[in-house]
A and B are shown apart, each in its own frame.
Chain A
């Protein structure tokens, strides 16, 4: 080809692609007309911890990591598994060996192919004591062979049960069958990294000038505490189906300021400030959206030896559980689409069926009557021994409002006095972790979409069992559930035990209120883990 023909050919290509771009200004699947400028700008509360897949520990960081990197499997808009770098996987009959087949067109942003050995490198990195990842426990939770021993420093990281027999086969050996193992490969800790880049730059490999990534976007700019900009990765295997060109996250600490800037058109998405959802959804019905989350809000009783004696009496705990009017809390105190919780595991958790719990079907009058009967029987409250309980929560307006509401309900119905105590986060964690409380606020969001991520918390040895609740039957049921073909009966029983013995009082299941630019489409509202990917979003042309 001479230079001239080359020039002609290339200008023809430019022309053709320009025509194609014009013609393609509709969404390939839905046919909607697309906006000319495809950018997505959203508010984040705070600076993310890291964009290193094996280091990141916060939700905002994981959102960025899901754009920059791609793991074995992805989630679709409803949270179901869809292929990522892997086109699929095979499970051995004993459930202990997973073989993932990697697509041959996956590329790093520098053009290198994504190899199975990159995953091996990343997974070993996650458990490496030298990296000291705060998410190393996740690999342990995935039951990967030898993960626990490596994290504890008893074995070399090369003993981890992962191998790459060839460039496109990634094999994982588990120490025990884990029904939801494949789901866990959508978690950022399991995403690959580019070994040569990590080795060359050490801790600074994640800076925009150094980073090499394999996701739909690459990191263009990062100004800590101000902004992070990512742009389309031309090397991404599915780049042609990506519509959003540029994604910007802006750190805006103050939620009200975020709302003002959203209304001024500076943002495509922001959180709704507490207590404003009802007003905003009336004013902007097509913009205010409530998204259910896989999280539960609850109160712990201190059941350890140092805890208040009255709370050791199950009748007192039952009475307090019954006397909480959840409807008032979700509708009047919160009002952003949260749902009343009478059990621990959120009902939207995959494969989880809500067990029949008597308390859920009663009216609040009946609950209150039963509560009064129980507390009287126990000899406390109105007419009995006076009872005063301190409610501990971390300093926050919303937590305070709930504590006030709870205090009033218990005071009115049961005659129990409450005092409020709030502490700054770190201090709160320490106080609660050392059982220096009477009742303390707790909240839990699922690490993966399966009921055990919640129910493991009430087992004796759980590090998060702040109530120090211990029940041998629960421990056994949860241990069996790990490998059971159908763990639901176990979960049902555990939920029933929680409802009977009330080590915790579930209050509500989370929902977050957001404002969304009405032109922004493709948001996975039904993905309860809110694992969203910018490459699935698009903006339609305004009328």
Chain B
């Protein structure tokens, strides 16, 4: 196991490097630049700006400098768009926001999703099953960019219970609507996967044995069925968690949360190269780490898997 983790971490380094090179190539291939605006800048001003940010260097040199600064000084460079902030500032401000609402959305999605799935599987083909499936299908077909405005309409305008957006350092009132909007579609997927996998497990031989032994149903479910039924869910949860904590543009746009998703998209539109790179690397690293974590968990849950 230890060797496996070590090997995976060793592969991560070239993976990140390839990610950096590819992102750089895509960035440079995109038309325009950070200082292109509707009003063309006088050539001298443009030259001054490019010199200031090192954009007058050849591509390979920019890439090389970037990696060296990142590795040796943990310096991701300045934002081209916002002069008073570095990329580290942008990430330090936006990432905790996204992490907070992403984490809570994950918790809600897992608890509600797994419960719905399990209930639906146990009460297979009863009204409870249909209700659970109905809820999850409903949640699935309502994408969050539809959910978000509806939530604000209902809870802010009509009921007046919750603020329609903002963050205010993450007070709970500001957290509820984003969490609902972000978690529903994940919850629906988790419920569906749990249900079908649970159904399969419930028909397996060892469950029949457990029933034959006369074990109470709740012990069969919690003690025997849930763990193997969770395997397919788990492989879904790894990437889902990364997606949730690395930002949802939709949530940031509709709830003005100031999370990292909005920075990411804006930086792409404004060609703020350093911010694009910083967030890309952050997402890349998180993806690698959580995929590894899921693989380790797999081995723990499923005795058939050995690394």
Contact = CB atoms under 8 A, between A and B. Distances in A.
Nearest to B39: A464
Interface in A428-481: 429-431, 433, 463-464
Contact of A137 (B30, B41, B271): B41
Nearest to B43: A152
A206 B84 CA distance: 7
Interface in A400-446: 424-427, 429-431, 433
A140 B149 contact: no
Contacts of B41: 134, 137
B236 interface: no
Interface in A47-85: 47, 49-50, 52, 55, 57
Residue from A46, A151, A426 with most neighbouring chain B CB atoms (10 Å): A426
Contact of A57 (B37, B42, B269): B37
B165 interface: yes
B44 interface: yes
A130 B266 CA distance: 26
Interface stretch (A224-232, A371-379, A489-497): A224-232
A431 B31 contact: yes
Contacts of A424: 269
Contacts of A253: 252-254, 256, 262
Interface stretch (A112-120, A255-263, A323-331, A383-391): A255-263
A257 B262 CA distance: 16
A433 B38 CA distance: 9
Nearest to A257: B254
A115 to B, nearest CB: 25
A425 B42 contact: no
A433 B40 contact: yes
Interface in B234-291: 252-254, 256-259, 262-263, 266, 269-271
A264 B164 contact: yes
Interface string A231-267: 0000000000000000000111110110011011010
B176 interface: no
Interface string B21-49: 00000000011110111111110110011
Interface in B119-166: 148-149, 152-153, 156-157, 160, 163-166
Contacts of A463: 39-40
A137 B42 contact: yes
Given A50-B82, A132-B52, A430-B31, A264 B37 contact: no
A55 B30 contact: no
B173 interface: no
B93 interface: yes
Given A52-B84, A134-B41, A257 B164 contact: yes
A245 B157 CA distance: 26
Interface string A142-172: 0000000001110000000000000000000
A430 B42 contact: no
Given A251-B256, A431-B31, A256 B149 contact: yes
B257 A226 contact: yes
B165 A132 contact: no
Given A261-B156, A264-B156, A426 B271 contact: yes
A172 B207 CA distance: 90
A308 interface: no
A263 B166 CA distance: 16
Contacts of A29: none
A320 B76 CA distance: 51
A224 B79 CA distance: 13
B167 interface: yes
Contacts of A254: 149, 253-254
A417 to B, nearest CB: 27
Contact of A132 (B49, B81, B160): B49
Contacts of A153: 44, 48
A136 interface: yes
A464 B156 contact: no
Nearest to A423: B31
Nearest to B169: A223
A205 B254 CA distance: 31
Contacts of B191: none
A283 to B, nearest CB: 14
Number of contact residues on A: which range applies?
A: 35 or more
B166 A132 contact: no
Interface string B57-89: 000000000000000000000100111110000
Contact of B164 (A50, A151, A225, A261): A261
Contact of B166 (A49, A204, A227, A429): A227
A489 to B, nearest CB: 28
Nearest to A267: B164
Interface in B71-121: 78, 81-85, 90, 93-94
Contacts of A266: 156, 163-165
A109 interface: no
A226 to B, nearest CB: 4
Interface in A189-244: 203-207, 223-227
B52 A250 contact: no
Given A52-B84, A137-B42, A253-B256, A224 B160 contact: no
A426 B36 contact: yes
Interface string B9-26: 000000000000000000
B260 to A, nearest CB: 9
B45 A47 contact: no
B256 A225 contact: yes
Most buried by B among A225, A251, A256, A427: A225
Given A132-B49, A261-B152, A264-B157, A223 B93 contact: yes
Given A257-B165, A426-B271, A429-B37, 19 more contacts: A52-B83, A57-B37, A129-B44, A129-B48, A136-B45, A153-B44, A206-B84, A224-B85, A224-B90, A224-B94, A225-B263, A225-B266, A250-B165, A253-B256, A257-B149, A257-B253, A424-B269, A463-B40, A464-B40
The 9 closest A-B pairs by CB, nearest first: A426-B32, A226-B258, A132-B48, A261-B164, A463-B40, A225-B258, A430-B31, A132-B49, A253-B253
Interface of A: 46-47, 49-50, 52, 55, 57, 129-130, 132-134, 136-137, 140, 151-153, 203-207, 223-227, 250-254, 256-257, 260-261, 263-264, 266, 424-427, 429-431, 433, 463-464
